[in-house]
C-alpha cells in the first residue's frame, strides 16, 4: 500500500471502531438501565426485539466486519510499517479483536440467544433477566472500553504515521 492509502485505511478503522464504541456506550449508559427499570416482561420483550433487529443492521456489519479488518491492519503493521505507529496499529487491532469481537461472540451473543429462546412471562425468564441485565451490561462495558481504546490506538497510530 502507498502511504496515503495506508493512512486512509487506518483512519477508516479509527472511525468505524469509534462508531461501534458509541453504540455500545449508549447501551451501557442508558439503554440497559432503562430496560432494567421497566417491568421485567417489558424489558425482556424489548431486548429480545433489539437483538432480533440487530441482525439486519449496519451496526452488525461494522461490528463483525471490523474484526477481520482490525486483524489484517494489525498484521500489515507488523510486517510493513516501521516505527512507533506500527505498535499503535497492532495494539488497536489486537484490542478490537479480543476485547470487542471475542467478548461479543463468547459473552453477549450466547446470553442473547438464551434470552431469545425464553418466553417473556415465564418464571425462569424473570429470574434470568436479572442475571442477564447485570452480566450482559458488564460485558458490554468491556466492549465499549475496548472498541474506544482500539479507536484511540488507531488514531494515535495515524498521527504518528502521518
Identify the DSSP state of 54.
Answer: G
The three cell numbers locating residue 75:
498484521
Q: Is pLDDT at 2 greater than 90 in this prediction?
A: no
| pLDDT for 77 | 98
pTM exceeds cut of 0.75: yes
For residue 35, give the nearest of 127, 116, 132, 108 by alpha carbon.
Answer: 132
For residue 161, give the nearest of 86, 93, 75, 71 by alpha carbon.
Answer: 86
Q: At what angle do helices 84-95 and 123-161 cross, to 10 degrees?
A: 170
Cα 47 to Cα 27: distance, rounded to the nearest angstrom: 11
pLDDT band of residue 1 (cuts 50, 70, 90) is low
| pLDDT for 97 | 98
What is the mean predicted confidence (pLDDT) over 46-74?
A: 97
What is the mean predicted confidence (pLDDT) over 37-49?
A: 96
Cα 94 to Cα 137: distance, rounded to the nearest angstrom: 22
Amino acid at each position: 500500500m502507498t502511504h496515503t492509502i495506508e493512512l486512509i485505511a487506518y483512519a477508516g478503522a479509527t472511525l468505524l471502531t469509534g462508531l461501534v464504541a458509541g453504540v455500545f456506550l449508549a447501551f451501557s449508559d442508558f439503554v440497559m438501565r432503562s430496560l432494567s427499570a421497566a417491568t421485567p416482561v417489558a424489558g425482556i420483550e424489548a431486548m429480545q426485539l433489539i437483538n432480533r433487529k440487530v441482525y439486519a443492521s449496519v451496526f452488525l456489519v461494522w461490528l463483525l466486519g471490523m474484526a477481520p479488518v482490525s486483524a489484517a491492519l494489525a498484521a500489515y503493521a507488523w510486517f510493513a510499517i516501521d516505527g512507533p505507529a506500527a505498535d499503535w496499529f497492532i495494539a488497536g487491532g489486537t484490542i478490537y479483536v479480543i476485547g470487542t469481537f471475542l467478548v461479543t461472540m463468547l459473552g453477549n451473543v450466547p446470553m442473547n440467544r438464551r434470552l431469545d429462546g425464553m418466553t417473556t412471562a415465564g418464571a425462569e425468564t424473570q429470574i434470568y433477566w436479572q442475571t442477564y441485565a447485570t452480566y450482559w451490561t458488564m460485558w458490554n462495558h468491556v466492549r465499549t472500553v475496548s472498541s474506544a481504546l482500539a479507536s484511540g490506538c488507531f488514531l494515535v497510530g495515524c498521527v504518528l504515521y502521518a
